[in-house]
Structure 1
């Protein structure tokens, strides 16, 4: 009741509500799915291809080493009953040493691959972020999100970003 006795307060509240609504209509939000960019953008595909070329030889060597270790282990299992205790102990120690070396090389390979992958993906992300900023400025977005629990597809600008990113790499 006291509110009705102060008409200027009612006018002020109404104008604030109307102003907030008008401002909310001008506020533009967009969303970019970085996982899709990493899967679909030409720069990400090129980075993946580069990594595959860079690490394919090491991976093949590692797979060959693993296969040879498996063959040696199977041979040992077959021949173990006919070997003397000393021969069995020597071959078992040799297999353990080979396995340890294989595990070390595999771990180093994985660490090197992960480090290079992170470098390449960071370059793709940096380039994508520059393109997102360009798209946001051109289309007058106020906010672009890269992570969200849920996003209405009408706010998703990932296709525009991928298209612009692919166009910029084609030049």
Structure 2
């Protein structure tokens, strides 16, 4: 009976100690949570500023041309109204000019609609690419910092500044941007006859 009691006692102690070891293990492996302000990153990341500059470079000249066209149409309309009011415009010429003006207005409206659609598509593509970069940067920082869970600014009520990783993610985005800019910079061609 002694052997059986000793075995029973050993089994009880072994089972009893198991949950305690799991609790100790859980305490040592605490969950790390962080927050990030995605809005700040979207507004201030160098990738955002570069995308905005590219959109302006791509579309401002066309926008200026459309503004010039609109002013020209308005000037033709004012001239037609002025000549019509003065009675110095023959009926046949008046009809012809009104037709030309309507054609110009229709053409302008189509061009403006096409322009707005192209700007919208380009802006949406830039935002998608920027969001993908930010998500990647958040993932990289999460991995580097060994963070288990990252919440965005709209998913919590109150948090300590201690767990806000927005500045770390911004720094990561800036480093990636600088690295990409360095890679994209053209290498100057050697000058013939000049020795390096």
Range of TM-score over shorter length:
0.7 to 0.9
* Matching of residues 1-171 of structure 1 within 5 Å: 26-81=30-85, 82=87, 83-146=89-152, 148=154, 151-152=157-158, 154=161, 155-171=163-179
TM-score, normalised by the number of residues in structure 1: 0.75
- Structure 1 residues 32 and 92, CA, compared in 2 at 3 Å: closer, same or farther? farther
Instruction: Say which SS state the counterpart of residue 147 (structure 2) adopts.
Output: coil
Shift in Å, 1:107: 0.8
Instruction: Say which SS state the counterpart of residue 166 (structure 1) adopts.
Output: helix
Report how many aligned residue pairs link the two structures. 151
- For 1:76 and 1:29, the matched residues in 2 are separated by 69
Q: Which residue of 2 aligns with 1:9?
A: none
Structure 1 vs Structure 2 CA RMSD = 2.5
Larger Rg: 2
- Structure 1 residues 79 and 151, CA, compared in 2 at 3 Å: closer, same or farther? farther
Instruction: Say which SS state the counterpart of residue 146 (structure 2) adopts.
Output: coil
- For 1:125 and 1:167, the matched residues in 2 are separated by 17
Contact 1:51–1:116 (CA<8 Å) still a contact in 2?
A: yes
- For 1:89 and 1:29, the matched residues in 2 are separated by 73
Structure 2 gaps of 5+ residues are 1-18, 180-196
Shift in Å, 1:129: 0.8
- For 1:125 and 1:61, the matched residues in 2 are separated by 32
Shift in Å, 1:141: 2.6
Structure 1 gaps of 5+ residues are 1-14
- For 1:67 and 1:46, the matched residues in 2 are separated by 31
Contact 1:33–1:147 (CA<8 Å) still a contact in 2?
A: yes
- Structure 1 residues 97 and 141, CA, compared in 2 at 3 Å: closer, same or farther? same
- Structure 1 residues 94 and 141, CA, compared in 2 at 3 Å: closer, same or farther? same
Instruction: Say which SS state the counterpart of residue 150 (structure 2) adopts.
Output: strand
- Structure 1 residues 94 and 150, CA, compared in 2 at 3 Å: closer, same or farther? farther
Contact 1:31–1:151 (CA<8 Å) still a contact in 2?
A: no
- For 2:153 and 2:97, the matched residues in 1 are separated by 54
- For 2:104 and 2:77, the matched residues in 1 are separated by 10
